[in-house]
A and B are shown apart, each in its own frame.
Chain A
Amino acid sequence: MGNNVEERVAQFAINWQRLSGKIMRQDLQETLGEALSRALEVICTGVPEPAAIIAWEPFVQDLARTVRLDCQVEWIGRRASRANSIAAMASADIGINVAQWAVADTGSVALYVTPEATLYPSLLPKQHLVLLDVADIVPTVREGLMELRKHLPQLAKIITGPSMSADIEGQLQIGVHGPQSVMVLLWASDRN
């Protein structure tokens, strides 16, 4: 089971895509901001301009400043009150989160609620983009859960594919309450 990073990346990619998840990877000669721009260009296709994108976590906000896009976008960040923030996020088109970890053999990504991070970008918009550092891919759910247990945020979730349901006549539908489309942007931090 995925002993080195590349093996885990490969396995994660297979399982994530099996669930109709999209995947992109930062090129060697590219900055993360450039990679994110490339990912957002893809996601923005089909979204009416200006696309409202949630950049909440400081890491994502810093990154957003370096993003260059052909299309018009509006960045959504923290508002004066919690209610206003939620309302703004509820009308956004795209949400961005940074994964805490990911699981190779299920094709899952994990997110925590922290003072700096919210789960709403993964839930309220129809498009979700997750930034995943390849060093954070663990082989199985077990390693991930041990990590989660250590931090134990009040709220956390593991995402394995888009929001879906087969409740009407057993026909699979995506984008029921949460996102219709999920994308992972793989990148490599200095830890690699």
Chain B
Amino acid sequence: MSGRLPYDPRPWRVRRDSALGNSSMRDTLQRVAGRLSKAKSTAYGDYQIADKWRLAGVAAKRRAISQIDELVVQVIGEIERHGGKVHRARDAAEAVRCVVEVAQKNGVKLAVKSKSMVTEEIELNKGLEDAGVQVVETDLGEYIIQLAHEKPSHILAPAIHRNRGQVKELFDVEADRQGMAHLANADIEQLTQFARQQLRQEFLSADMGVTGGNFLVAETGTIVLITNEGNADMVTSLPPLLVSIVGIEKIVGTWDDLSYLLQQPALSGVGQRLSSYTTFVSGPRDESAMDGPDQWHVVLLDNGRRNLVGTPEESILSCIRCGACLNVCPVFRQIGGHAYGSVYPGPIGIVVSANLDPSMPSFLDLASQACSMCYACSEVCPMDIPLADEILTLRNHRVKTMAEPLLVRRTYEMWGRLWSTKAGYQKTIRIARLGQRFLIQKKKLRWAPGLFGGWLKTRDMPLIPPETFREWWAKTHGE
């Protein structure tokens, strides 16, 4: 069964141009993405075990995917044995319904969330809010974009598209709402402390905590959460009720597998050997203990994942959401996350969105629109997902399913037919020479038909010279 993902209904052209027009976003993005990419290569470079363990981790992830059905059964058994309750959700709607039911049954009014891509995927906040539950995002970046009613623009740095002045404006509105004084200026430290104070109250009074999960270890039913801020620690230890929503592809078999994988998100994402906080939840609070929820619910989400197991695309399920492919992608560095129109941006976003939810044409189109085939993503992926090849497969699928505009299709067909013989190739030279005579203005080409016209929109193109190389060769070396 395939999944459903939220999408931005604006056409690609609009999404792209609005991103390209946002110069402050692009500046920040270039700087931060460039810095993170460098940090990643340094982190692996000066750390002997990093790459060896990475490879063991890749093997562990691939193995887990091939055993996914068994591992799901095992993980359910383990979580329930430790007092947790597992719910299986086939799709986004089921997952949301399930969390809403748990919230309602427990009279939840306020939920605090740590950062989780999967809850973006299922649009959990909307579901909870529709059911009258207030949801507060507690990751600093997520908090900012929640106040702005936006979606994350980067897997790791969701508010990377906003500058400090824009953040202050949002916080001022929040201060007004609570009758507090505005911050004196848009100092980043002050902004951060404002968020700390605001969110501290929410943590202490929340009825429910919501997390995703970076890894889920089958042999003990342990969820592993990785953060740098410590918000997941608040969410897992303070509220009386905890709901963790995890895609089934996050399951790994054993702690041995986990040990090779645990450092990879931080190494690849931010160039640290570990993130500041790695949190392990293996069950609800024991009566004798202080920390933790009285009830722990785990929602195992499919939403198109199981469908990919056993297909050539299954390796994309190994993604650990480190963001390395986003940081290195030259297209992402120009347009940021929102332009993709999916909650999953960047190279992995193209691949995951179109494969989880094949019903959405705009996801498939991204493969052609948002990739220059530079292979930087494939090179950088710590889980060895052949991202560029996967994008190429999607492009091919787009061609096969006639999803391209007819004119484009015909262009390739004609071009391919002509250039697969010498005679056809020479014919195109004659046509081009004839054509450019008509199209030339002030010694330059200003317009050309169809696909070729795209080039001339923004760049010049030299004319076909009076003598091509092969004509020169025939003249000088000819029989």
Please list the residues of chain A having a beta carbon within 8 angstroms of any beta carbon in chain B: 15, 19, 82, 85-87, 90, 103, 105-108, 113-115, 118-120, 122-123, 140-142, 145-146, 148-149, 152-171, 173, 175-179
- B474 contacts chain A at the CB level, 8 A cutoff: no
From A19, A152, A158, A175, contact of B220 by CB (8 A):
A152
Question: 16 extra interchain contacts, Cβ-Cβ under 8 A, other than A106-B263, A158-B277?
Answer: A113-B285, A113-B292, A115-B286, A120-B291, A141-B262, A142-B260, A148-B280, A152-B220, A155-B236, A155-B281, A160-B272, A165-B141, A168-B167, A170-B35, A170-B160, A178-B233
From A118, A119, A175, contact of B196 by CB (8 A):
A175
Interface string of B226-250 (1 = CB under 8 A from A): 0011110110111000000000000
Complex: A105 Cα to B49 Cα, angstroms: 10
Size range of the chain B interface in the assembly? 35 or more
B residues within 8 A CB of A161?
A: 272, 276
Query: How far in angstroms is the closest Cβ of chain A from B113?
Result: 13
Query: How far in angstroms is the closest Cβ of chain B from A151?
Result: 10
Given A164-B229, A165-B140, A177-B196, A90 and B204 contact (CB-CB distance below 8 Å) = yes
Check A166 against B32 for contact (C-beta < 8 Å).
Answer: yes
- B283 contacts chain A at the CB level, 8 A cutoff: yes
Check A168 against B258 for contact (C-beta < 8 Å).
Answer: no
Check B159 against A168 for contact (C-beta < 8 Å).
Answer: yes
- B189 contacts chain A at the CB level, 8 A cutoff: yes
Check B230 against A163 for contact (C-beta < 8 Å).
Answer: yes
Those 4 A-B pairs whose CB atoms lie nearest each other, nearest first: A178-B230, A170-B32, A167-B141, A115-B288
Question: In the complex, what residue of chain A is closest to B201 when comparing beta carbons?
Answer: A90
A residues within 8 A CB of B283?
A: 154
B423-447 residues with Cβ-Cβ distance < 8 A to A are none
Complex: A170 Cα to B141 Cα, angstroms: 10
Check B234 against A123 for contact (C-beta < 8 Å).
Answer: yes
Please list the residues of chain B having a beta carbon within 8 angstroms of any beta carbon in chain A: 28, 31-32, 35, 47, 49, 82, 138-141, 144, 157-160, 162-164, 167, 188-189, 191-193, 195-196, 199-200, 203-204, 220, 222, 228-231, 233-234, 236-238, 255, 258-260, 262-263, 270, 272-286, 288-292
From A119, A155, A158, A164, contact of B282 by CB (8 A):
A155
Check A176 against B292 for contact (C-beta < 8 Å).
Answer: no
Check B282 against A177 for contact (C-beta < 8 Å).
Answer: no
B residues within 8 A CB of A142?
A: 259-260
Check B192 against A165 for contact (C-beta < 8 Å).
Answer: yes
From A86, A162, A168, contact of B192 by CB (8 A):
A168
Check A170 against B229 for contact (C-beta < 8 Å).
Answer: no
Check A167 against B144 for contact (C-beta < 8 Å).
Answer: yes
9 cross-chain CB contacts under 8 A: A103-B274, A152-B220, A155-B237, A160-B275, A168-B140, A169-B163, A176-B192, A177-B229, A178-B230
Complex: A153 Cα to B49 Cα, angstroms: 28
Given A120-B290, A152-B222, A141 and B259 contact (CB-CB distance below 8 Å) = yes
Check A105 against B228 for contact (C-beta < 8 Å).
Answer: no
Query: How far in angstroms is the closest Cβ of chain B from A131?
Result: 18
Check A154 against B274 for contact (C-beta < 8 Å).
Answer: no
Query: How far in angstroms is the closest Cβ of chain A from B181?
Result: 20
Given A86-B238, A115-B286, A178-B277, A155 and B291 contact (CB-CB distance below 8 Å) = yes
Question: In the complex, what residue of chain B is closest to A145 when comparing beta carbons?
Answer: B259
A residues within 8 A CB of B273?
A: 15, 105-107, 160
Question: In the complex, what residue of chain B is closest to A82 when comparing beta carbons?
Answer: B290
Complex: A166 Cα to B263 Cα, angstroms: 19
Query: How far in angstroms is the closest Cβ of chain B from A23?
Result: 17
Check A141 against B230 for contact (C-beta < 8 Å).
Answer: no
A residues within 8 A CB of B280?
A: 148, 155-157
Question: In the complex, what residue of chain A is closest to B33 when comparing beta carbons?
Answer: A170
Check B238 against A154 for contact (C-beta < 8 Å).
Answer: no
Question: In the complex, what residue of chain A is closest to B262 when comparing beta carbons?
Answer: A141
Complex: A19 Cα to B276 Cα, angstroms: 9
Query: How far in angstroms is the closest Cβ of chain B from A109?
Result: 11
Check B200 against A106 for contact (C-beta < 8 Å).
Answer: no
Complex: A158 Cα to B274 Cα, angstroms: 9
Check A173 against B188 for contact (C-beta < 8 Å).
Answer: yes
Check B188 against A169 for contact (C-beta < 8 Å).
Answer: yes
Query: How far in angstroms is the closest Cβ of chain B from A50?
Result: 21
Given A154-B283, A157-B279, A176 and B229 contact (CB-CB distance below 8 Å) = yes
Kindly name the residue among A103, A145, A148 whose own CB sees the greatest number of chain B CB atoms within 10 A: A145
Query: How far in angstroms is the closest Cβ of chain A from B285?
Result: 6
Check A167 against B159 for contact (C-beta < 8 Å).
Answer: yes
Given A113-B290, A171-B188, A173-B188, A106 and B229 contact (CB-CB distance below 8 Å) = no
Complex: A115 Cα to B292 Cα, angstroms: 12
B residues within 8 A CB of A113?
A: 237, 285-286, 289-292
Check B32 against A154 for contact (C-beta < 8 Å).
Answer: no
Question: In the complex, what residue of chain B is closest to A166 when comparing beta carbons?
Answer: B157
